[in-house]
A and B are shown apart, each in its own frame.
Chain A
Amino acid sequence: MNIIEIENLCHRFADGTVGLDGIHLNIRRGSFVVVAGPNGSGKTTLLRHLNGLLLPTEGCVRLAGVSVAQDPARARRLVGMVFQDADSQIVGETVYEDVAFGPQNLRLDHNEIDIRVAQALKTVGLAKIRDQRPHLLSGGEKRRLAIAGILAMQPRVIVFDEPFSSLDYPGVQQVLQNILKLHRCGHTIVVSTHDLEKIIAHANRLILMHRGRVVHDGTPAEVMTEVENFGVRQPCAMRLGQEVASWLS
Chain B
Amino acid sequence: MRHASGPRGGVVAELTPFGFVVGTSLLHRLDARFKILFLIGLSLASINAHFDGLAVLTLVLAGSLFFCRIQWKSAWRELRYFLILLAMVFAARVLSTGGSPAITIWMITISLPGLTTAALVCWRLAFVVLLGLAFVATTRPAEIRAAVQWFLKPVPLVSEKKVATMMGLILRFIPVILNQARETAEAQKARGVENRKNPVYRLAKIGFPVMRRTFERADDLASAMEARCFTENRTNPELSAHWRDWVAMGAVVCLCMALLTL
- Per-position 1/0 for B209-227, Cβ under 8 A of A: 0000000010011011111
- Give Cα distance in the complex from A53 to B219, angstroms: 12
The stretch that binds B, out of A62-70, A91-99, A208-216, is A91-99
The stretch that binds A, out of B14-22, B42-50, B98-106, B243-251, is B14-22
| CB of A110 closer than 8 Å to a CB of B | yes
The stretch that binds B, out of A27-35, A76-84, A229-237, A241-249, is A76-84
| CB of A107 closer than 8 Å to a CB of B | yes
Q: Look across to chain A and name the residue whose beta carbon is closest to the beta carbon of B235.
A: A104
| CB of B234 closer than 8 Å to a CB of A | yes
Contact B228 A102 (CB under 8 A): yes
Q: Chain B: how many interface residues by the 8 Å CB criterion?
A: 38
Q: Which residues of A contact B2 (CB under 8 A)?
A: 132, 136
Contact A83 B220 (CB under 8 A): yes
| CB of B192 closer than 8 Å to a CB of A | no
Task: Specify which of A53, A87, A131, A135 is in contact with B223 (CB 8 Å cutoff).
Answer: A53
| CB of A220 closer than 8 Å to a CB of B | no
| CB of A73 closer than 8 Å to a CB of B | yes
Q: Which B residues, 121 to 151, have Cβ-Cβ distances below 8 Å to chain A? A: 140-142
- Find the residue from A113, A137, A150 having the highest chain B CB count within 10 A: A137
The stretch that binds A, out of B3-11, B54-62, B152-160, is B3-11
| CB of A138 closer than 8 Å to a CB of B | yes
Q: Look across to chain A and name the residue whose beta carbon is closest to the beta carbon of B221.
A: A88
Task: Specify which of A51, A88, A93, A135 is in contact with B9 (CB 8 Å cutoff).
Answer: A135
| CB of A122 closer than 8 Å to a CB of B | no
- Give Cα distance in the complex from A180 to B222, angstroms: 28
Contact of A135 with B217 at beta-carbon distance under 8 Å, contacts A76-B229, A81-B227 already known: no
Contact A94 B235 (CB under 8 A): no
- Give Cα distance in the complex from A26 to B227, angstroms: 22
| CB of B12 closer than 8 Å to a CB of A | yes
- Give Cα distance in the complex from A104 to B6, angstroms: 30
Q: Look across to chain A and name the residue whose beta carbon is closest to the beta carbon of B172.
A: A91
Task: Specify which of B13, B226, B236, B238 is in contact with A53 (CB 8 Å cutoff).
Answer: B226
Contact A138 B5 (CB under 8 A): yes
- Give Cα distance in the complex from A112 to B234, angstroms: 14
Q: Which residues of A contact B234 (CB under 8 A)?
A: 104-105, 107
Q: Chain A: how many interface residues by the 8 Å CB criterion?
A: 41
Chain B proximity of A127: nearest CB distance (Å): 14
Q: Which residues of A contact B9 (CB under 8 A)?
A: 135-136
Contact of A107 with B175 at beta-carbon distance under 8 Å, contacts A91-B221, A97-B142, A149-B228 already known: no
| CB of B96 closer than 8 Å to a CB of A | no
Contact A105 B231 (CB under 8 A): yes
Contact A102 B229 (CB under 8 A): yes
Q: Which residues of B contact A102 (CB under 8 A)?
A: 228-229
Contact of A153 with B229 at beta-carbon distance under 8 Å, contacts A87-B8, A135-B175 already known: yes
- Give Cα distance in the complex from A105 to B161, angstroms: 13
Chain A proximity of B86: nearest CB distance (Å): 28
Contact B227 A136 (CB under 8 A): no
| CB of A89 closer than 8 Å to a CB of B | yes
- Give Cα distance in the complex from A93 to B168, angstroms: 9
| CB of B1 closer than 8 Å to a CB of A | yes
| CB of A85 closer than 8 Å to a CB of B | yes
Q: Which A residues, 98 to 146, have Cβ-Cβ distances below 8 Å to chain B? A: 101-110, 113, 131-133, 135-139
Task: Specify which of B6, B223, B229 is in contact with A139 (CB 8 Å cutoff).
Answer: B6
| CB of B107 closer than 8 Å to a CB of A | no
- Give Cα distance in the complex from A103 to B2, angstroms: 28
Q: Which residues of A contact B217 (CB under 8 A)?
A: 88
Chain A proximity of B124: nearest CB distance (Å): 30
Q: Which residues of A contact B142 (CB under 8 A)?
A: 92-93, 97
- Give Cα distance in the complex from A92 to B1, angstroms: 18
Chain A proximity of B69: nearest CB distance (Å): 12
Q: List 11 A-B contacts (CB under 8 A).
A: A53-B227, A88-B221, A88-B224, A89-B220, A91-B225, A93-B19, A93-B140, A102-B228, A102-B229, A107-B233, A136-B2
19 additional contacts (CB under 8 A) given A53-B226, A137-B5: A76-B229, A89-B220, A91-B224, A93-B20, A97-B140, A101-B228, A102-B229, A104-B235, A105-B234, A106-B229, A107-B231, A107-B235, A108-B235, A131-B22, A133-B16, A135-B9, A135-B13, A139-B5, A150-B228
